[in-house]
Amino acid sequence: MYQVCPSILAADFNRLGEQIHTLEEAGIKMLHIDVMDGFFVPSISFGMPVIESIRKESGLFFDCHLMVTAPERYIEEFVRCGADSITVHAEACEDLESVMKQIRAAGVKVGVSIKPSTPVSAVAHLLKDMDLLLIMTVEPGFGGQKYIESSTDKIREARAIVEKEGLKTNIQVDGGINDATIETVLRAGANLLVMGSGVFRGDLVENVEKYNKRIQEITE
């Protein structure tokens, strides 16, 4: 139920395949893949060819976070390249519900993300149709930023709705998750923790072990 989801945005792209293999050996199940279009967010990261290429070598669950305007243009193609879940931004879709249906019809898990300024109430009515709600805990666009404190209440609010309605929706957090913030987000109710610098800075295996241990200690 609780998982560290390493974000390959922070990987050493010169050794991407090797690092993904190392994570797999360390017991990671879910890989977070940040796709940026230079329009929804200021930066451009990578897209289909990279996903298609790493898919050939990895059996991990590919959790694709699309920071892309009008993502409905690309859903089927990301699935073809190897996505196992597709997360779209509520702010990037004119008709979010129809994009969610499109993702479901394409045969993968459905994720919805909200930026720090978007309230949980904007998507609460759709929680039952999501496999994951991604609460951005920094402004999307760049790795290595500082956790935005007001995110904690949003995590609590989303977790409360999930519990109250008896849903299975995962609550994922992304941005600034590290030694200093992991306990806060777990206690607030997050269960999928995206980590870029937290995992890729330093020794990957040691970092994964450290965070898995922290999760166990905090949630037992």
> Which of ligand DX5, Zn ion, none has residue 37 at its interface (CB below 5 to 8 Å by kind)?
none
Active site residue 34: yes
Structure letter (DSSP) for residue 109 = E
Q: Total residues contacting Zn ion (rule CB under 5 A)?
A: 3
- Binding residue (CB under 5 A) for Zn ion from 37, 51, 65, 133: 65
Q: Which residue out of 12, 63, 174, 179 is catalytically annotated?
A: 174
Q: How far is the CB of 30 from ligand DX5 (least distance, A)?
A: 12
89 binds Zn ion (CB under 5 A): no
Q: Which stretch binds Zn ion (CB under 5 A): 45-53, 104-112, 122-130, 172-180?
A: 172-180
Closer to ligand DX5 at the Cβ: 3 or 101?
3
Q: How far apart are the first and last CA of the chain?
A: 12
- Binding residue (CB under 5 A) for Zn ion from 19, 20, 34, 204: 34
Closer to ligand DX5 at the Cβ: 108 or 192?
192
Closer to ligand DX5 at the Cβ: 116 or 167?
116
Give the H/E segment covering residue 143.
Answer: none
- Binding residue (CB under 5 A) for Zn ion from 37, 63, 131, 174: 174
Cβ pair 116, 136 in contact under 8 A: yes
User: Hey, what long-range contacts does 68-73 have (CB within 8 A, 24 or more apart)?
Assistant: 68/35, 68/36, 68/37, 68/39, 68/40, 68/92, 69/37, 69/39, 69/40, 70/94, 71/99, 72/98, 72/99, 72/102
Residue 30's nearest CA partner among 47, 54, 5 is: 5
Q: Tell me the Ramachandran region of residue 43: left when phi exceeds 0, alpha when psi lies from -120 to 50, beta otherwise.
A: beta
Active site residue 174: yes
Length of the chain counted residue by residue:
220
Positions touching ligand DX5 (CB under 6 A) are: 7, 9-10, 32, 34, 65, 138, 140-145, 174-177, 194-198
Cβ pair 208, 199 in contact under 8 A: yes
Q: How far is the CB of 136 from ligand DX5 (least distance, A)?
A: 7
Residues annotated catalytic, as ranges? 34, 174
